[in-house]
Chains A and B, each alone.
Chain A
Amino acid sequence: MNKNRVVITGMSMITPIGIGIDNYWNSVLKSKSGIDLVTRFDTTEYRCKVGGEVNDFDITQIIQDNDILNDRFDRSTGFALAAIDMAMRDANLSDADTYHEMGCYVGIALGGAESGEIGYKQYMTNKSGYQDPYLYHSNIPNGCMYYINKMFRFGGPCHTLSTGCTSSTDTIGQAYRAIKTGKVSTIIVGGTEAPITPLTYSAFGNIKALSFNTYEPQKSSRPFDQNRDGFVPSEGGCFLVLESLDKALNRNAKIYAEVLGFASSANAYNMVHPHPEGTQNIRAIELALDEANLLPFQIDYINAHGSSTRLNDSIETKIIKKVFNEHAYKLKISSTKSMVGHMLGAAGAIEIATTCLGIFNSVIPPTINYENPDPECDLNYTPNHPVSKDIEYAMSNATGFGGLNSVIILRKYS
C-alpha cells in the first residue's frame, strides 16, 4: 500500500472577519471580532440576536461564469463555489487537465438551510401554483456538489459529508487518508455553512445553546472566559488543497503545512451534552497522535474547539490536561471561534486553515474576549493578542452535537 506524505498547498476562506487569506489573516493579527447583531432576518422574537455574517460577500466579484451565476443556489453553495475557486488559484492549480484528476470533499452540517426555509414558506403560501426547478439542488447537502461539478468538473471522487460540527474536519481527515493511500493525488476539501436563519436560531435558542448576550455583540463569543454563555452561529466557507508531497514538489508548490494524523470517535453518551470526562475525545487525540507518530509533549499549539459554551470549554480543558499532563500548561491554545463564531460544518476547515497560517507565519492566533479567567479553564489560551512563536507540531480538535470527535495533527513542512 502507498504511504504518501500529504501537504496543504492552497487555501481560501470566506468569513465574517475577511474574505481571502490576506484579509482574514490581517484580521486575526488585529484580534478582530466578526460578530454583530443579525441583519439577515428580524430577530425581535428571538433570544439570540447575534451572529457572524459575511456582509461583504459578492459572488460576482469572485466568479465570472454566467452559466453558474444565472442559476439559483443556496448561500452556502455560493460560499463553497467562491472559496474553491480562490483556493485553486492560491494553489496555482487552474487548468482543466488538473481538475480532471482531482477529488472534492465537502463538509456541511445543515445543507441549504436558508433555501429550505424559504422554499417551504413559498410552498405553504402558493401550494400547487408553486413551481421551483431549483428547489431540489438548493435544499439538500448534495445540491452543493451538483453546482461544484457543474462549475469545476472534478474527475476524482466527490463526496459530501455531514457530521455536524465536525463535518469539515472529517472531510479533511478523509481526504488525507485518500491521498496517503494513493487513491488520488489531489483533493480540494473543506466546509461551508449558512445557518443564520429563523429555524436554526429557534432550534438552538430553545435548548439554550446560543449566546443571549446582546449588550456587546462583538464580545458574545468568548471561549474559556468565565462569562461565556453559549455559541454564536456564523456563516462562511473554507477550502484547502491537499496533495501528495511528491506532486507538490514536482510542481514547486507553496506548502503551508503537512498533515500527519487524523482520528475520530463517538461519545455514545448524549445528543447535546459532551461526555463529562471526555473519554472518547481523549481516545481520538491519542489515536491521531499515534498515527502522527508523536508523543503529547511534542505538540506546540492546539487550535481548540472552544465553542464558548459553559460545558464544552471546561471539559475540553480537562481533556487537554488528561492527554498532555504537565505539558498542558506549556502549550499554547486558542479558539478561532472567538473571532469568527461557530461556522458549524465549516468550523473545522477554518480552524485547520488558521492553524496552517499560524504554522506558516510562526504566529499563535489569539483567543479574543478573554477577560475573566474561569478556574475550570486555567490553561494558556493566548488571550486577546497573537503571539509570535515557531510551531513545529499543532493539533486541531473538533467536537460536535451528538458526541462526535475528530482530531487532525499538522506540522511545519521542512
Chain B
Amino acid sequence: MKNNKIYILERSINHALGKTIEEICDWYNNESAIPLIDSTELYQENMIKMPILKNQNKLSITPNILRKMDAFCAYCVDGINDMSIESYPKERMGLFLGSCLGGLSTAEREIRILENEGPGRVSPFLSIAMFYSSSISQISIIYNITGPSYLYSDGFLSGFSSIIHASESIKENVIPISIVGASDMPFSPTCVKAYNDIGLLEQNNYVTDGSAMLLLGTEQYIEDKDCVEIAGFGYGYFHPDKIEDSLNKALQECLASSMVSKEEIDLVVLSDNYFEDQREREFNFFSTLLDAQYLSLSKLLGNSFSATSVQKLLIAESILLNKNLPFNMRDNSVATIILSSIDISGNCIMIILKK
C-alpha cells in the first residue's frame, strides 16, 4: 500500500497578540510592547504573581452559538471559520483536536451555581460542555463533518497528538484529509491555582488563551498552493531523570519516519515551556547532535497550554514558506525544521516539517 505524504493545506491562529502570524511576529519585533495584563480581581485576590495576557480578539461566531459552548470550544469553531474548508470533502474529513483543560471554566461556573442555587439551576448546556469532546461534536454539527472525530487530552502535547494521529490515519488511507489543532482557555481559578501551586507558571513569560488549527491532506489537494510537508514524527517517554534518552528516542523515530538526516535539519524549535533545568537539558541535547539554528518562541507566545505547540508549528511553517523571517536567524534558506514538545506528564513528541 502506498504511504501518503501529508501537507498543511490551510491554517488559522488565535493568540492574544493577534489572529495572523504577521500580527504576532510584529509583537516579537517590539517585544517590550507586549501588553501584559496584571490579571483580574480574582487573581489578585489569590495573590498570584503570574502575568496574564487575556485574548481579546473578536470571534467570528454568533452569540446564539456562542452561548451553547465553552470558550475553548468557541476558539476551535472560530479557528475553522478562519480557514477555507468549504471546497474539501466533508464526508471523509477527520476531526482530530486537542485540549488540555476542556470546558473547565464552564464546569467551575456551574459548580458555583450548584453550591449557591441547587442542582435544578445548573445549566442544561453543561451536559454538553462538560465533555472534553464537545468541541469536536459542535464542529462536526456546524460544518457537517462526518469523518472520524477524536479529542486528545495529552496535556501540553494534545495539539501534537492530534497532528500525529491524523497524519497516521491519512498515511494509512483511513481518511484523505483532516482538521487538526488545539485550543485552551486556562483562566479558571483552580487551573491557575493548580499550576501556580506546582510552580510551573512562573517559569513562563505569561499565560494566555487561544487556539491554532490546521487542515492536513494528501498531495491531491495541494493544487497550485505552496505547501509545507509534515515529513515525520516521533514519540518518547520522558522520565525526569532521563530526558536525554527520551528525546533521543523521539528524535530517532522522527528522523527515521521522515527519511531526513541530522545534517539536513536547519532549525530546531524548542519546547522550552518546562522547568528551567529541563530547558537547558533540552537545548544541550539538540546542540550536541545537530548543527542547526535554534528558536525559542516561549517568550513571544507565553503558555496557552495545548495550543502553544501548534502555534509554534504554524510560525515554523511560515518561516519555511518565507512569509515571515522576523527572527534573528543566520540566513533565510531554512528548508527543514524539527519541533519538540514536552509535557508535564512525562511524554514528548517531535515533528519534522519540510519545505
**A residues lining the B interface (CB < 8 Å):** 1, 45-46, 108-111, 113, 116-117, 119-121, 123-124, 127-128, 130-133, 135-136, 139-143, 145-146, 149-150, 153-164, 167, 170, 174, 177-178, 181, 183, 198-207, 209, 263-272, 280, 283, 400-404
| Cβ contacts B103-140/A at 8 Å (1 or 0 each) | 01001101110110011101110111011111011101
**B residues lining the A interface (CB < 8 Å):** 1, 3, 45-47, 68, 90, 95, 100-102, 104, 107-108, 110-112, 114-115, 118-120, 122-124, 126-128, 130-134, 136-138, 140-141, 143-155, 158, 161, 165, 168-169, 172, 174, 189-191, 193-195, 197-198, 235, 237, 239, 249, 343-347
Please, which residues of chain B bring their CB within 8 A of the CB of A402? 128, 131, 133-134, 136-138, 140-141
Kindly report which residue of chain A lies nearest to residue B188, judged by CB atoms: A120
Smallest CB separation, A245 vs chain B (Å)? 19
Contact A207 B124 (CB under 8 A): yes
Smallest CB separation, A409 vs chain B (Å)? 15
27 A-B pairs with C-beta separation under 8 A: A1-B1, A116-B108, A124-B112, A131-B197, A133-B197, A140-B155, A141-B102, A141-B132, A141-B153, A142-B155, A159-B152, A162-B133, A162-B151, A163-B149, A198-B119, A199-B107, A199-B110, A264-B148, A265-B146, A266-B140, A271-B141, A280-B146, A283-B146, A402-B131, A402-B136, A402-B140, A403-B141
Contact A199 B111 (CB under 8 A): yes
Contact A181 B111 (CB under 8 A): no
Kindly report which residue of chain B lies nearest to residue A403, judged by CB atoms: B137
**CB contact under 8 A between A203 and B122, given known A124-B112, A266-B147, A271-B141:** yes
| Partner pick for B119 among A46, A128, A162, A268, CB 8 A cutoff | A46
Q: Whole-angstrom distance between the alpha carbons of A266 and B127 in the complex?
A: 18
Contact A135 B115 (CB under 8 A): no
Q: Which 7 A-B pairs have the closest CB atoms?
A: A402-B137, A162-B132, A136-B194, A202-B122, A202-B119, A135-B194, A266-B140
| Partner pick for A271 among B132, B138, B191, B343, CB 8 A cutoff | B138
Contact B237 A404 (CB under 8 A): no
Q: Whole-angstrom distance between the alpha carbons of A202 and B288 in the complex?
A: 56
Contact B119 A157 (CB under 8 A): no
Please, which residues of chain B bring their CB within 8 A of the CB of A207? 124, 127
**CB contact under 8 A between A206 and B140, given known A163-B133, A271-B134:** no
Please, which residues of chain A bring their CB within 8 A of the CB of B45? 127-128
Kindly report which residue of chain B lies nearest to residue A106, judged by CB atoms: B153
Contact A160 B146 (CB under 8 A): no
| Partner pick for B148 among A46, A117, A153, A265, CB 8 A cutoff | A265
Please, which residues of chain A bring their CB within 8 A of the CB of B237? 149, 153-156, 158
Q: Whole-angstrom distance between the alpha carbons of A109 and B153 in the complex?
A: 10
Contact B127 A45 (CB under 8 A): no
**CB contact under 8 A between A266 and B190, given known A401-B131, A402-B128:** no
| Partner pick for B95 among A130, A174, A266, CB 8 A cutoff | A266
Please, which residues of chain B bring their CB within 8 A of the CB of A265? 146-149
| Partner pick for A142 among B1, B127, B145, B343, CB 8 A cutoff | B343
Contact A117 B153 (CB under 8 A): no
Smallest CB separation, A159 vs chain B (Å)? 6
Smallest CB separation, A216 vs chain B (Å)? 23
Q: Whole-angstrom distance between the alpha carbons of A264 and B149 in the complex?
A: 8
**CB contact under 8 A between A128 and B141, given known A164-B131, A177-B168, A267-B146:** no
**CB contact under 8 A between A202 and B189, given known A140-B153, A141-B132, A163-B150:** no
Contact B120 A109 (CB under 8 A): no
Please, which residues of chain A bring their CB within 8 A of the CB of B111? 116-117, 120-121, 199
Q: Whole-angstrom distance between the alpha carbons of A149 and B100 in the complex?
A: 17
Q: Whole-angstrom distance between the alpha carbons of A221 and B199 in the complex?
A: 45
| Partner pick for A136 among B112, B154, B198, CB 8 A cutoff | B198
**CB contact under 8 A between A146 and B130, given known A124-B112, A154-B237, A163-B151:** no
Q: Whole-angstrom distance between the alpha carbons of A153 and B131 in the complex?
A: 28
Smallest CB separation, B339 vs chain A (Å)? 17
Q: Whole-angstrom distance between the alpha carbons of A61 and B236 in the complex?
A: 32
Smallest CB separation, B279 vs chain A (Å)? 20
Please, which residues of chain A bring their CB within 8 A of the CB of B124? 203, 206-207
Q: Whole-angstrom distance between the alpha carbons of A398 and B136 in the complex?
A: 17
Contact A1 B3 (CB under 8 A): yes
Please, which residues of chain B bring their CB within 8 A of the CB of A203? 110, 122-124, 126-127, 130
| Partner pick for B144 among A117, A145, A268, CB 8 A cutoff | A268
Please, which residues of chain B bring their CB within 8 A of the CB of A121? 111, 115
Q: Whole-angstrom distance between the alpha carbons of A155 and B236 in the complex?
A: 7
Apart from A141-B153, A177-B169: 7 A-B pairs, beta carbons within 8 A: A111-B132, A135-B193, A142-B100, A156-B237, A160-B152, A178-B168, A203-B130
Smallest CB separation, B350 vs chain A (Å)? 13
Contact B131 A206 (CB under 8 A): no
**CB contact under 8 A between A272 and B128, given known A145-B345, A266-B95:** yes
Q: Whole-angstrom distance between the alpha carbons of A162 and B151 in the complex?
A: 5
Q: Whole-angstrom distance between the alpha carbons of A263 and B150 in the complex?
A: 12
